[in-house]
Amino acid sequence: MDLKLGHYNKDGIEVVDVEGEIDVYTAPRLRELLIDLVNKNNYQLVVNMEKVEFLDSTGLGVLVGGLKRVRAHDGSLDLVCTQERILKIFRITGLTKVFGIHETVDDAIAAKKSEK
């Protein structure tokens, strides 16, 4: 399986664990999951990218799409990522300014709570 997805709720925030490669072939699954979570009224999302081995512009598009969806409900979508190889594509595209990117899931959750 190129992409493994899982999600759980922690402190009222839905955390999505992503493992593997997010590319043109696998990105639709992540997209569907994010849509599904929003449809179930989860508007505070954290996507954990620490086990993502590859991310391309299709994946970025899915994340941006997810961000837009939650923002339509005054929610937020933050990322957890410390891998330089993945952060690189966010930097190249300027998306480091768009997403809150944290070092751990707990950091991301704490940041969301302090925003409220």
Which residues lie near another protein (CB under 8 A)? 2, 21, 23-25, 27-29, 31-32, 54, 56-58, 60-62, 64-65, 68, 85, 88-89, 92-93
When the beta carbons of 82 and 104 are compared against another protein, the nearer one is 82
Q: What is the signed CA dihedral for 103, 30, 52, 110, rounded to 10 degrees? A: 10
- The whole-angstrom distance between residue 58's C-alpha and the CA centroid of its chain comes to 13
Nearest approach, Cβ of residue 92 and another protein (Å): 4
Q: Which residues of 43-63 are buried (b: 16+ CB within 10 A; e: fewer)?
A: bbbbbbbbebeebeebbbebb
Kind plus residue range of the DSSP H or E element containing 21: strand 13-22
When the beta carbons of 55 and 101 are compared against another protein, the nearer one is 55
Nearest approach, Cβ of residue 113 and another protein (Å): 27
Nearest approach, Cβ of residue 106 and another protein (Å): 28
Nearest approach, Cβ of residue 23 and another protein (Å): 6
When the beta carbons of 4 and 88 are compared against another protein, the nearer one is 88
